[in-house]
Structure 1
Amino acid sequence: MSTTATIDAMRTAAHTLRSGDTRDSLRAVQALQDALDATKAHLLCKLEESRDYELDGASSVTNWARRELRLEPAQTRTAVRCAKTMRELPEVEEAAAAGSVRMEHLNLFAYGVKHIGHEMIRESAGWLLRVARTCEPSKLRAVMKELRQAVYPDSLDEAWIRGMDREDLKISPVPDGWHINGFLNQATGAKLKAALDALSKPSSIEDVRTPPQRRVDALDELLTSVLDNGLPSDKGIRPHLLVNVDVETLHNALTNQPNEGGKPAELVGFGPIGSQLLNYLGCIGDITPILTSGKDLPQAKILNVGRDHRLATPRQRKAITARQKGRCAAPGCTNTHLEIHHTTWWGNGGKTDIDELAGYCSRCHHLIHRGLLDVTPAHQQDTLLVA
């Protein structure tokens, strides 16, 4: 790679900075920075091939650059890849040395050589460079993708299939809230984006929310609507947020009194929550008093149906869900979709009473009926023992 064009860019930048024109100075500085990035990439590639990094006790060029230049390994690898691409494409190398294209553009040319083919990119280098010289990297990225789709039309369906294979969505509680991580296929991602875009538009000219705030508010609005109207009930119970809280803690939260020594409320699936959040949820939600156990209490007669009904009533399902904090009764199982099981089997004379019912996920429930797990009622709670 010739350094003449880079040196010329340095002279131009120095001269322009003395002229006092801010716009020209910015253009010259950007061109110089891009030229120097290309030169640095060339020198890193040269260092890798000569293995001179070993003279300073480094095991690789990435280790040397991290120690001597404070570069992340990914930056060094990208620079070396771009330098090798410039060698294969002389026109691109010349433009890079002059500061006409940025490192991000060079990385996209490297993508094209790998995923479209050297010959096609070499033949198209002229008009691709025109795009790179006049547009930001995102435009060149879109052009590269269109070119790849034209050369390999089947790649669109292949990408869709690969996306389905990568599908994943994890929602994990962390101290400050929830961490969402995952990957959606093209169709599912497009549906989510379309819904969030429609709901996250500024409500008026006075809407001062940031775009991230509007997106989060849109997701909250979407989920609230679905929970209120869109999800089918499961044997009389519709999915909703559940908060388990005793009467005293709830009263203190709703009346803004300190909850001294009281047990904190628990948001099912997340964990303990503070009084201010409890106050907010109590303001927007329904409050349902639930008896979770108590065979000998008069109130239990409202929940207990004995042998009159085999299936648990909606009230019993709510009570069991609250008692188990929404989780499967099997020790160590954290699944949340519960099926109600008679601890003394109905066929053996069991009753549909609150203290003789427990909630298990489908998998654990199947294991019970296969005889692989044995359920033994113990002190108004169900203990699951391995048979």
Structure 2
Amino acid sequence: MDSGTVAATLRGAADALTRGDDREVLVAIQAAQDALDAAKVHHLAAVQRTAGFELDGASAMSTWARTHLRLPAQTTRKLLAADSTLRDLPEAAEAGRIRADHVAVFTYGIRHIGRSVVREAQSWLLDVAVTHEPVEFRRVMQQLREAVFPESLDQAWADGMEKEDLQVNPVPMGWHVNGFLSTVTGAKLRAVLDSIAAPTDAEDRRTGAERRVDALDTLVSKVLESGLPSDKGIRPHLSVIADADTLAAARAGAGPAGTPAQLAGFGSIGPQLLSYLGCISDLTAIMTTTGDLTQARVLNVGRTRRLATLQQRRAIIARQDGVCAAPGCANTHLEIHHATWWENGGRTDLDQMVGLCTRCHHLVHRNLLRVAANGTGQFDFTDHDHRPLHRAYRQRVAAHRETARIRRTLATINTRRAPRNPPLRV
């Protein structure tokens, strides 16, 4: 058969469908599309069974389909599975009134319920398929599976709890959220989001995605404002560390100035975002140095109290950029540790206290990790045999940050030197 002749015939039929009532034309187009999909499945499977793809020098059916039909391998596998399903369900094949997506649901049923069960129920399942869209048909097929395997519901719940995972990772433009929630946790989140994400009124033009993101922002904002317990006096919150010049420039709308502000757990942020966060947040001033007056001299309390004050905790967290001080550790939930233990005469002073994550803190008290103040506001870490820990990782990170600061400074200088108006093109 000449493929050119077939294509010309189909194009002529398509042109004929441009005349007449639009509704009737659409119904006819869909019927023709379903018939073409069925024909594609039939002939694709025939080429697979006869290894006809080898005549064109292809090593596999998926290779031939990718070359001659521009079909990805996944689509080819789906179409071949549809042929296998239709051969198992002769009534559905003879009907010729269901489309590829419906056949995919039958395939799901054969795999997850059993060929014999689906074959026995195919008459009434076919009635559902020809009168409902694929999504609704899949729901009915799932109900059949639940009726055949009622114990699967509780098993699915248990399996779901084992798969639970939630990751929120920083990427250049924001955060990538990925994970899996159990039945109950997911239902709770869905119920809250559906309630908060409802359109505010008839004039609400936000998309569903925009409303859900806004709802999540509202939810976490309310929790941060009032819903979480404090940790040694500090409620969980967003931390942005910026020097005075950077903050002043952002508030004045003067553009980049000095070192970019750092959003804890994310990285550098621009002056506009800093200005916005400064507008909706409380400000905690932490002096690092002013002449010969250091923050430590202001906040040190010596032996007058054992636990770090709220101001000291904030200063230590800021000093470490919110990250555990142990070399190579990137955990961010910090506990304050006296380098010289309190019971050994240690002082509650800034240069004697370090922020460690819970795991590293446990290692210290098991004598597997040792930390000592070196008198310069920094701390030296050694293992249980007093061998210095490898600090190359931290040194590479510091060098990278310094290089990045230099590049940003040069970019800022070049931007200020650049002409305000773009050059004319001729």
Distance 2:344 2:44 in 1: 78
Give the 5 Å matches for 1:148-167: 148-167=145-164
Deviation at 1:299, TM superposition (A): 5.0
Q: Which residue of 1 aligns with 2:420?
A: none
Deviation at 1:362, TM superposition (A): 0.9
Give the 5 Å matches for 1:236-251: 236-251=233-248
Deviation at 1:297, TM superposition (A): 2.7
Q: Which residue of 2 aligns with 1:328?
A: 324
Q: Which residue of 2 aligns with 1:4?
A: none
Deviation at 1:70, TM superposition (A): 1.1
Q: 1:209 aligns with which of 206, 211, 214?
A: 206
Q: 2:309 aligns with which of 295, 310, 313?
A: 313
Give the 5 Å matches for 1:93-104: 93-96=93-96, 100-104=97-101
Deviates more, 1:309-318 or 1:369-378: 369-378
Distance 2:136 2:168 in 1: 33
Deviation at 1:12, TM superposition (A): 12
Is 1:363 equivalent to 2:372 in the alignment?
no
Q: Which residue of 1 aligns with 2:273?
A: 277
Distance 1:293 1:237 in 2: 24
Aligned partners of 1:327 and 1:338 also within 8 Å: yes
Q: Which residue of 2 aligns with 1:195?
A: 192
Deviation at 1:49, TM superposition (A): 2.3
Task: Find the residue that maps to 1:178 and give its secondary structure.
Answer: strand
Task: Find the residue that maps to 2:370 and give its secondary structure.
Answer: strand
Aligned partners of 2:289 and 2:295 also within 8 Å: no
Distance 2:142 2:214 in 1: 33
Give the 5 Å matches for 1:28-67: 28-67=28-67
Aligned partners of 1:312 and 1:352 also within 8 Å: yes
Deviation at 1:319, TM superposition (A): 1.1
Deviation at 1:68, TM superposition (A): 1.6
Q: 1:288 aligns with which of 284, 287, 296?
A: 284
TM, length-normalised to structure 1? 0.92
Task: Sort the Cα spacing of 1:63 and 1:384 in 2 relative to 1 into closer, same or farther, 3 A.
Answer: farther
Task: Find the residue that maps to 1:203 and give its secondary structure.
Answer: coil
TM, length-normalised to structure 2? 0.83
Deviation at 1:305, TM superposition (A): 1.3
Aligned partners of 2:168 and 2:178 also within 8 Å: yes
Task: Find the residue that maps to 2:17 and give its secondary structure.
Answer: helix
Deviation at 1:370, TM superposition (A): 1.5
Deviates more, 1:345-354 or 1:85-94: 345-354
**RMSD of the alignment, in Å?**
2.1
Distance 1:130 1:14 in 2: 29
Deviation at 1:56, TM superposition (A): 2.4
Q: Which residue of 2 aligns with 1:85?
A: 85
RCO (CA 8 Å, sep 6+): is it higher in 1 or 2? Answer: 1
Q: Which residue of 1 aligns with 2:178?
A: 181
Task: Sort the Cα spacing of 1:81 and 1:278 in 2 relative to 1 into closer, same or farther, 3 A.
Answer: same
Task: Find the residue that maps to 1:55 and give its secondary structure.
Answer: helix
Distance 1:78 1:244 in 2: 52
Task: Sort the Cα spacing of 1:117 and 1:13 in 2 relative to 1 into closer, same or farther, 3 A.
Answer: farther
Distance 1:374 1:208 in 2: 58
Q: Which residue of 1 aligns with 2:395?
A: none
Q: Which residue of 1 aligns with 2:144?
A: 147
Q: Which residue of 2 aligns with 1:230?
A: 227
Q: Which residue of 2 aligns with 1:138?
A: 135
Aligned partners of 1:294 and 1:300 also within 8 Å: no
Structure 2 residue runs without a partner (length 5+): 1-9, 385-426
- Partner AA of 2:197 in structure 1: S
Distance 2:11 2:57 in 1: 36
Aligned partners of 1:328 and 1:359 also within 8 Å: yes
Q: Which residue of 1 aligns with 2:259?
A: 263
Number of residue equivalences: 374
Deviation per CA, 1:253-301: give whole Å up to 9, x if none: 11112334x0010000000000000000000000010145799736534
Task: Sort the Cα spacing of 1:83 and 1:224 in 2 relative to 1 into closer, same or farther, 3 A.
Answer: same
Aligned partners of 1:167 and 1:183 also within 8 Å: yes
Q: Which residue of 1 aligns with 2:24?
A: 24
- Partner AA of 2:61 in structure 1: V
Task: Sort the Cα spacing of 1:283 and 1:11 in 2 relative to 1 into closer, same or farther, 3 A.
Answer: closer
Q: Which residue of 1 aligns with 2:120?
A: 123
Task: Find the residue that maps to 2:293 and give its secondary structure.
Answer: coil
Deviates more, 1:303-312 or 1:104-113: 303-312
Distance 1:321 1:143 in 2: 55
Deviation at 1:246, TM superposition (A): 0.5
Distance 2:292 2:229 in 1: 35
Deviation at 1:302, TM superposition (A): 3.9
